Structure 1
Amino acid sequence: MTRKQDDSAELPVGSLDVSAAPQSGPTGRPQSVFTEPRTLKGHGPARVISLCNQKGGVGKTTSTINLGAALAEYGRRVLAVDFDPQGALSAGLGVPTHDVTTIYDLLLSRSKIPAEAIQQTNVPGLDVIPANIDLSAAEVHLVNEVAREQILAGVLRKVSADYDVILIDCQPSLGLLTVNALTASHGVLIPLECEFFALRGVALLIETIDKVRDRLNPAIELDGILATMYDSRTLHSREVLERVVDAFGDKVLETVIGRTVKFPDASVAGTPITQFAPEHQAARAYRQLARELIARGAVA
Structure 2
Amino acid sequence: MGRIIAIANQKGGVGKTTTAINVASCIAEAGKKVLAIDLDPQGNMTSGLGVDKNEVENTVYELMLDECSVQESIVESVVENLDIISSNVNLAGAEIELLGINEKEYILKNAVDYIKDDYDFIIIDCPPSLNMLTVNAMTTANTILVPIQCEYYALEGLSQLMHTINLVQDRLNPELKIEGLVFTMYDMRTNLSNQVVENVKENLDTKIYNTMIPRNIKLAEAPSYGLPINMYDTKSAGAESYRKLAKEIVDREDI
Larger Cα Rg: Structure 1 or Structure 2? 1
Once the two structures are superposed, the pairs formed by residues 85-100 of structure 1 within 5 Å of their partners are 85-99=41-55, 100=57
Aligned length: 254
SS at match of 2:161: helix
> What SS class does the counterpart of residue 213 from structure 2 fall into?
strand
Asked if 1:108 is matched to 2:28, the reply is no
What amino acid is the match of 2:60?
Answer: I
Matched, 1:163 2:113: no
- Go from structure 1 to structure 2 and tell me whether the alpha carbon gap of 1:298 and 1:177 turns closer, same or farther (over 3 Å shift): farther
Q: TM-score, normalised by structure 1?
A: 0.82
Structure 2 CA distance for aligned equivalents of residues 161 and 269 of structure 1: 31
- Equivalent positions of 1:124-163 (< 5 A) are 124-163=80-119
Change beyond 3 A, Cα 1:188–1:248: same
Separation in structure 2 between the aligned mates of residue 131 and residue 261 of structure 1, nearest angstrom: 26
| Residues 1:260 and 2:216 aligned together | yes
Matched, 1:192 2:184: no
Q: Tell me how far apart the structure 1 counterparts of residues 204 and 125 of structure 2 sit (CA, whole Å).
A: 23
Q: Deviations over 1:201-224 (max 9, x none)?
A: 111101110110000000000010
- 242-251 or 257-266: which moved more? 242-251
Residue number in structure 2 paired with 1:291: 247
**Aligned counterpart in structure 1 of residue 4 of structure 2, from 44, 48, 70:** 48
SS in 2 for 1:198: coil
**Aligned-residue CA RMSD (Å):** 1.3
Give the letter for the 1:113 counterpart.
Answer: S
Which deviates more, 289-298 or 78-87?
289-298
Scaled by the length of structure 2, the TM-score of the pair is: 0.96
What CA distance in whole angstroms lies between the structure 1 residues aligned with 2:148 and 2:115?
Answer: 29
Which of structure 1's runs of 4+ aligned residues deviate more than 4 A? Answer: none
**Structure 1: runs of 5+ lacking an equivalent:** 1-44
How much does 1:297 deviate?
A: 2.9
**What is the match of residue 23 of structure 2?**
67
* Structure 2 match to 1:78: 34
Percent identity over the alignment is: 42
Identify the match of residue 74 of structure 2 among 118, 127, 146: 118
